[in-house]
Amino acid sequence: MKVAERIQAIPPYLFAQIDRKIAEAKAAGVDVISFGIGDPDRPTPAHIVAELARAAEDPANHRYPSYEGLPAFRRAVADWYARRFGVTLDPDREVISLIGSKEGIAHISLCYVDPGDINLVPDPGYPVYALGTIFAGGEPYKIPLRAEKGFLPDFSAIPSDVARRAKLLFLNYPNNPTGAVADLKFFTEAVEFARQYDLVICHDAAYTEIAFDGYQPPSFLQAPGAREVGIEFHSLSKTYNMTGWRLGWACGNSEVIEALGRLKTNIDSGVFQAIQYAGIAALQGPDEPVRTMCRVYQERRDVLVQGLRDLGCPVAPPKATIYVWAPVPAGHTSTSFTELLLERTGIVVTPGIGYGEGGEGFVRFSLCLEVERIKTAVERMRRAGIRW
């Protein structure tokens, strides 16, 4: 049977391929140290788990949930934005729950993109921005993110004819995979660009709460005029170690939120209400678990960065996210270096090319493993003679 052209047009999902490589290596008896997928390794805070257990026992939560999300969950999101960013949101019109932010990011193109339309997609970038565009029949136009510009897009370099055809502009800061950050000056420039070309900004803010050295990333919605031109996707996954729970939200421009809600009410039935109550407990609960995880990731970052530098790698410590974006040694591609690490050391990293052509020459290390395993990985590389 022939699959649809939209399926033929996309490659297998990057992290599904990495999972297979890990499984194959383990089956061969290799003690794999995986810096691959960004999946927090510490448990979800206990007070959140307790609220899930309580809510799951309530029969009222065993029925279909509200399509747009529990009003109480949407209020909790709005209250959290007010406390964290000083941004005022209408929970009824400007917030919608998602089955994880990935789901909303994948679906937003279906709300705006017709066959032949363009979306502006960062390169390197989270693969779902481009894949969602392709699913909608659109064409991803890759915007280069270069190290010399701090991995920020240069809006002036986008051809005006391309910008006029564009429907959505995807942004993501703090950034996956590069770890780069953006300030409100940059977001203000993005708003002006969106106004000029009448396009919608979709900002993926999943990593705003994982930051180091006292840095606090801003929200795109703090920029003047942001709500007039765009929305922000956010998630509980990285902030509260809830990747498996699949709970996130989109917020911002009410017309865009309405369009996304109209789509979702026709293709899914919302998030299990008990999980939404757990999400409320997360957003309203103590901040100490988040601060603790930031300290944990910062220690891991420092150990890994210093270890790579000792091997000659010219890597900079990121100010946020759970990733270290490192150049590969001379003479290697991102894929060949990834294969070398797995074969010689049992270490798994993510090749930069998996995030687009702009990721060539880099690999991504996730910080989702304990310090002792990071030290072991660095020692394995040293013993294998891997140098930059």
Task: State the SS3 of 315-377.
Answer: CCCCCECCEEEEECCCCCCHHHHHHHHHHHHCEECEEHHHHCHHHCCEEEEECCCCHHHHHHH
- Whether 16 has a pLDDT exceeding 70, the answer reads no
Order across the sheet with 118-123: list the strands.
Answer: 95-98, 248-252, 230-235, 200-204, 166-172, 118-123, 139-144
Question: 3-state secondary structure string, 156-225?
Answer: HHCCHHHHHHEEEEEEECCCCCCCCCCCHHHHHHHHHHHHHHCCEEEEECCCCCCECCCCCCCCHHHCCC
Longest dimension (CA), the chain: 61
Note if the bond before 12 is cis, omega within 30 degrees: no
Beta carbons of 297 and 212 less than 8 angstroms apart: yes
Q: pLDDT digits over 323-371, tens only?
A: 999 999 999 999 999 999 999 999 999 999 999 999 999 999 999 999 9
The DSSP secondary-structure symbol of 250 reads: E
**By CB neighbour count within 10 A (0-12 exposed, 13-18 middle, 19+ buried), where does 124 fall?**
buried
Does the reported pTM lie above 0.85?
A: yes
- What pLDDT is stored for residue 69 in this prediction? 86
Beta carbons of 200 and 229 less than 8 angstroms apart: yes
Q: Dig out the tokens for 280 from the structure.
A: 């409320």
Q: List the chain domain ranges.
A: 5-43+288-383, 46-284
Give me the percent of the chain exceeding a pLDDT of 70. 98
Beta carbons of 167 and 117 less than 8 angstroms apart: yes
- What pLDDT is stored for residue 108 in this prediction? 98
- For every residue of 27-57, DSSP letters joined together read HTT---EE--S----SPPPHHHHHHHHHHHT
Residue 336's CB is within 10 A of a number of other CB atoms, namely: 13
Q: Band the pLDDT of 4: cuts 50, 70, 90.
A: confident
Q: Dig out the tokens for 268 from the structure.
A: 């899914």
Beta carbons of 140 and 134 less than 8 angstroms apart: yes
The residue type found at 378 is V
Own/partner long-range contacts of 314-318 (Cβ < 8 Å, ≥24 apart): 314/388, 317/212, 318/174, 318/178, 318/179, 318/180, 318/212
Give me the percent of the chain exceeding a pLDDT of 90. 89
- What pLDDT is stored for residue 368 in this prediction? 97
- Whether 207 has a pLDDT exceeding 80, the answer reads yes
**By CB neighbour count within 10 A (0-12 exposed, 13-18 middle, 19+ buried), where does 220 fall?**
buried
Q: pLDDT digits over 43-73, tens only?
A: 999 999 999 999 999 999 999 898 788 999 9
**By CB neighbour count within 10 A (0-12 exposed, 13-18 middle, 19+ buried), where does 7 fall?**
exposed
- What pLDDT is stored for residue 13 in this prediction? 62
Question: Quick one: average pLDDT of 237-262?
Answer: 97
Listed in sequence order, the residues at least 6 apart from 298 whose beta carbon sits closer than 8 Å to its beta carbon are 212, 213
Fold matches, 5-43+288-383 and 46-284: no
Q: What is the CATH code of the structural domain delimited by 5-43+288-383?
A: 3.90.1150.10
Distance from chain centroid for Cα 10: 19
What CATH topology corresponds to 46-284? Aspartate Aminotransferase; domain 2 (3.40.640)
Is 110 strand, coil or helix?
helix
- What pLDDT is stored for residue 12 in this prediction? 66
CA angle, residues 228, 230, 232, in degrees to nearest 5: 130
Distance from chain centroid for Cα 339: 25
Listed in sequence order, the residues at least 6 apart from 372 whose beta carbon sits closer than 8 Å to its beta carbon are none
